[in-house]
Amino acid sequence: MTLERQRQVTAETEEWVGWPMAEASLPDLRGHTEATPCPSVLELEELLRAGKISSCSRVDEVWPNLYIGDAPGPHFPPQGSTALPPWHWPCWCCWRLWPTWIPRSWMDSLQKQDLRRPKIHRTGPVSPYQPPTLSSLQRLLWARRATTLSHVNEVWPNLFLGDAHAARDRSKLTQLGITHVVNVAAGKFQVDTGAKFYHGMPLEYYGIEAEDNPFFNLSVYFLPVARYIRTALSVPQGRVLVHCAMGVSRSATVVLAFLMIYENLTLVEAIQTVQAHRDICPNSGFLRQLQVLDNRLRRETERR
Structural domains in the chain?
1-36 (no CATH), 59-113 (no CATH), 138-303 (3.90.190.10)
pTM, entire model? 0.58
Instruction: Report helix, strand or coil for 23.
Output: helix
**Is 244 annotated in the active site?**
yes
Q: Which amino acid is at 253?
A: T
What is the DSSP secondary-structure string of 90-156?
S-HHHHTT--TTS-HHHHHHHHHHT--PPP---SSPPPPP-PPPHHHHHHHHHHS--S---SEEEEE
pLDDT, one tens digit for every residue, the chain (304 residues): 554 555 554 455 444 434 343 443 444 444 444 444 566 666 666 777 666 555 556 677 778 778 777 765 444 454 554 444 444 444 444 444 444 444 545 444 444 444 344 444 444 555 666 778 988 888 888 876 665 679 999 999 999 999 999 999 999 999 999 999 999 999 988 999 999 999 999 999 999 999 999 999 999 999 999 999 999 999 999 999 999 999 999 999 999 999 999 999 999 999 999 999 999 999 999 999 999 999 999 888 877 7
**Options 38, 91, 244, 281, the catalytic residue:** 244
